Structure 1
């Protein structure tokens, strides 16, 4: 267990942790953490999008009020998971590594996730919230009976012995990690915290935290007050503290943590369903929907309705672009502070301006005749992993170009009979492109292409 640093004790657990011996092992484990947090952002947003909206969808006043509250809670928790992803990125950058914004396709699993759980895209239900509770549960909390009987959760999965890619010779001594000592998110972060402390003890802070401080994302950049810039062991451990406390809560007090919030949502849901056995707060959304056949097949998840599949492709394109913009932010070169502020705010703005409204729209659109009454949803599919364009001028021009392409695509879907809201989303994407223009080389802006896109949208007000 890590020793006390600057007046506060380790924030995670006293359980034996996975041993970390090298920088590469620590980076590999942080990659697992990044994929976990990234997957949770998508999972929580998906579930929020599946909730019905108002009394026109067979909800009483009390039910509609609860559903609105649950949607807000899930969205706020997803935003905190975005904060967690940024914190993990800061830890990676501080160690001299690149940010890791890739993730496996859904359903998403790994040996390094708690309890062998699989992260999926599922509609709001008692089962879904129970899985969220299990994933966010603190150390020492017993696994619920509902989880023990859930085939999607392998509670008896063996704990990994070493980090991914660990350099261990056949006769090297490896401390066994009991299954119960690697069964929560806190245990994953315990291994990361202990690894940080061990490397500092062996090599010294200056040799461990070698990343440029200017590359750190700050609370000002993201407008997230708990975003810790990591430059040394103390700040690294404060970052881990935020990661664990927001999810699991501090020991004995998880009321305001994700765990406690999900417990309250389930309690409210069960009370409302006890009063009305027919109450279903969610639309009949397909689980883990896909717009394109993934590797290994779609397993009945492929959305067949052409307009719906096109809207899913648009939503996926916006999601991929947001990821590319965040990757540029975390891996920037000679951008000014003003340019970086614009980049991150425009990237995060895509969530509220395009991704979330498209996600909610998709849960109202039919998945296709082969799926009965089931509707689609935001699939967060990635056509290719996010990769860094290394040169600043080219990177910004590529981002600008892609925004124009997505705006034009949204307009074409609307012209082909898609929902009218797509015209507004096209305008939002066009506005985001214009927001990047002050930081492009004006002589090279393909202004004619933006004019062509805007000609399809009509004149802008003001």
Structure 2
């Protein structure tokens, strides 16, 4: 089944066989002289950026789930530092994918196009993503998929033909029907943004610059080049790239930087294990144990699903009562993260003032930490009552991604989500369960957030340092 958008991008990808008839890689076709039917060049650029945003979102989520699966008491004592280093490496890549997402959203704002927060949900294969979306614990096969997706067009000389064949064979054995290199999409975008004949200056909106996310907002105290880890075996890692654009040159530079951090096409950069996603995944792959040697991951399920809604054939329903409630809480907090991200990109209001406060970005980062903490709770709880297998973070998409059209409505959405989460946190199975102390802490933090947000939700206008309340919110 094809998605409604696939017909607009399939012309970009000329599929070629890799190591197995069941695995297809994509190479880029020649740039078209005219936009696809039904598009202008500006709309087409916005469409490609929307696809890029969906891909970055999907990769971020899948990398987080894989990283969170690493560890556990079954890891041999002598291997625990290595496993911790792999976890830190992949979490770092996931953070960088969020920076890529923020950068792509900035470029959508630069085109005055709607931001895109959607992504694939499992079980699903849109044909646009690098490979079918799936939440899976880390294995050599999943690492093989990640390597191929982030690979450059020309692989480095130190990857032998035998090693590349092994990577492609493992990806095929995981059931992957195709591999789309992410770099193909960015190459097309870079060519398009460079071309003033196709995208004239009138297509750009530098006045949106104040509403674009900045590196300073995402840096969280890190100096440039100083994001690293104290985990043994890890080094300093590249910055989280969050780039804004007020000109064509800045937009092209942002796209090039995102592409390079993924695949590192430069041969010199390829020799540095800490530069590109491709290189870092390859390093973990080379160190990761063969099947049957020893187990580096917790027994989390593939494609976990929270209870209360029908699950698909390829999903794994979380059946333990306590784990199921935490899975529902995780989904709410995930939706909160997306709503804060959307709010941080809210357009400039009719009075010409930016309707965004530091509280939004602070809350967004708070939800990142909450998701990590809840994922840790889930991996300690059983998938089924009294079972040995563990639960996992479901990352299920909300029922809608339609966004409010004014600032006060955004705040009311945040408050509704906090209210829904409170009802679950007060459930006796949570309040007296294995993570009762964390649940109580989360409730207390949420009460503070409600008090703070209610001021904004009840304001007719939000100005710097000025609130004009219009009455209490029921």
- TM-score grouping bracket, smaller chain normalisation: 0.7 to 0.9
CA contact (8 A) 2:211 2:354 kept: no
Farther off after superposition, 398-407 or 245-254: 398-407
1:138 counterpart residue number = 152
1:440–1:296 Cα change, 3 Å: closer
1:425–1:445 Cα change, 3 Å: farther
2:322 counterpart residue number = 307
2:109 counterpart residue number = 93
User: 1:257-276 counterparts in 2 under 5 A?
Assistant: 257-270=276-289
CA contact (8 A) 1:248 1:257 kept: yes
1:154 counterpart residue number = 177
Measured in 2, the distance between the counterparts of 1:118 and 1:60 equals 32
2:60 counterpart residue number = 41
CA contact (8 A) 2:320 2:382 kept: yes
> Which residue, 212, 215, 227 being the options, matches 2:211?
215
1:392–1:67 Cα change, 3 Å: same
Measured in 2, the distance between the counterparts of 1:313 and 1:234 equals 44
3-state DSSP of counterpart to 2:96: helix
| Structure 1 unaligned residues grouped into runs of 5+ | 1-13, 158-182, 450-462
CA contact (8 A) 1:290 1:301 kept: yes
Q: Does 1:125 align with 2:139?
A: yes
Deviation at 1:372, TM superposition (A): 5.5
Measured in 2, the distance between the counterparts of 1:144 and 1:188 equals 24
Identify, as 1 or 2, the structure richer in strand: 2
Q: Deviations over 1:32-89 (max 9, x none)?
A: 1111100111111111111225xxx133333221222222112111110000101110
Measured in 2, the distance between the counterparts of 1:399 and 1:128 equals 35
CA contact (8 A) 1:332 1:392 kept: no
CA contact (8 A) 1:147 1:153 kept: no
Number of residue equivalences:
397
| Structure 2 unaligned residues grouped into runs of 5+ | 1-26, 36-40, 156-160, 220-238, 460-468
Measured in 2, the distance between the counterparts of 1:242 and 1:378 equals 31
CA contact (8 A) 1:17 1:194 kept: no
1:241 counterpart residue number = 256
CA contact (8 A) 1:46 1:378 kept: yes
> Which residue, 46, 61, 65 being the options, matches 2:77?
61
Q: Deviations over 1:364-410 (max 9, x none)?
A: 221226x9632221111123132211121222133134224323422
Deviation at 1:430, TM superposition (A): 3.4
CA contact (8 A) 2:154 2:265 kept: no
Measured in 2, the distance between the counterparts of 1:292 and 1:242 equals 41
1:365–1:445 Cα change, 3 Å: farther
Deviation at 1:283, TM superposition (A): 0.9
Deviation at 1:348, TM superposition (A): 1.9
Q: Deviations over 1:431-456 (max 9, x none)?
A: 44445456444756869x9xxxxxxx
What CA RMSD, in Å, does the superposition of the two structures yield over aligned residues?
A: 2.9
> Which residue, 33, 46, 64 being the options, matches 1:27?
46
Identify, as 1 or 2, the structure richer in helix: 1
3-state DSSP of counterpart to 2:357: helix
Please, what TM-score do these two structures have when normalized by structure 2?
0.76
Farther off after superposition, 133-142 or 337-346: 337-346
2:367 counterpart residue number = 350
CA contact (8 A) 1:342 1:435 kept: no
Measured in 1, the distance between the counterparts of 2:471 and 2:285 equals 51
